[in-house]
């Protein structure tokens, strides 16, 4: 993280600044820096919840040809490519509410945005210098409905496996930022990983 991004991220994670102060810092960031700040916030939440690395702040935001996040695990470089699972109807609805100053709901899909992210991300190739890379799909603006997600993953397990095996990823994670919970994960060797051993912040 560059200094501006790190300052904002630390303030938001630690909750030591007023909303006005955070807004002022956010307004001073470029669009690329805002994207980096969002990615860092997601990664820090994920890494802290899973105890993946001792200090989640020890990571860097990478250029587009590389995966989004580079960190170190057991002294070796490790990358994470991030992707938000959200129906485009949600940000459009939020923008409409802000513009019209009204509160309105909207219908949204649980299946389609997950399928779209898996298809797009698994088809891409990244420069990692031979280091491993995981795919971290996450819910932030959209709340996951686990029953529907589980049914989709089961129903499309063969297609998902084929996409995964043809991809560059060592693992795929699905993470919910609000509950700080890993909903599902699959790794290249051994298939789906049991989630019970993973300790969350509440454990």
Q: 43 and 82 in contact (C-beta within 8 Å)?
A: yes
Predicted confidence at residue 162, as pLDDT, reads 95
Predicted confidence at residue 53, as pLDDT, reads 93
pLDDT at 91 > cutoff 80: no
75: in domain: yes
CATH number of the domain residue 96 falls in? 3.40.1540
Predicted confidence at residue 105, as pLDDT, reads 46
* Helix 146-155 and helix 157-166, axial crossing angle in degrees, nearest 10: 70
Name the pTM for this structure. Answer: 0.81
Total tally of structural domains belonging to the chain: 1
Residue 43's domain spans which residues?
Answer: 32-192
Predicted confidence at residue 109, as pLDDT, reads 72
pLDDT at 17 > cutoff 60: yes
18: in domain: no
């Amino acid at each position: 993280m560059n200094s501006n991004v790190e300052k904002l991220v630390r303030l938001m994670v630690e909750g030591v600044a007023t909303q006005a102060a955070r807004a002022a810092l956010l307004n001073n960031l470029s669009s690329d820096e805002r994207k980096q700040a969002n990615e860092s916030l997601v990664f820090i939440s994920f890494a802290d919840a899973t105890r993946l690395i001792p200090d989640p702040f020890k990571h860097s935001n990478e250029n587009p040809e590389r995966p989004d996040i580079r960190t170190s695990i057991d002294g070796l470089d490790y990358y994470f490519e991030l992707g938000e699972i959200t129906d485009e109807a949600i940000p459009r609805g939020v923008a409409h509410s802000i513009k019209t100053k009204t509160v309105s709901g909207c219908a949204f899909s649980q299946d389609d945005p997950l399928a779209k992210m898996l298809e797009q991300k698994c088809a891409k190739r990244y420069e990692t210098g031979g280091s491993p890379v995981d795919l971290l799909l996450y819910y932030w603006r959209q709340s996951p409905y686990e029953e529907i997600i589980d049914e989709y993953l089961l129903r499309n397990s063969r297609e998902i496996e084929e996409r995964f095996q043809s991809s560059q990823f060592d693992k795929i994670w699905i993470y919910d930022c609000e509950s700080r919970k890993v909903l599902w994960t699959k790794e290249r060797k051994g298939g789906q990983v049991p989630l019970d051993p993973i300790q969350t912040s509440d454990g």
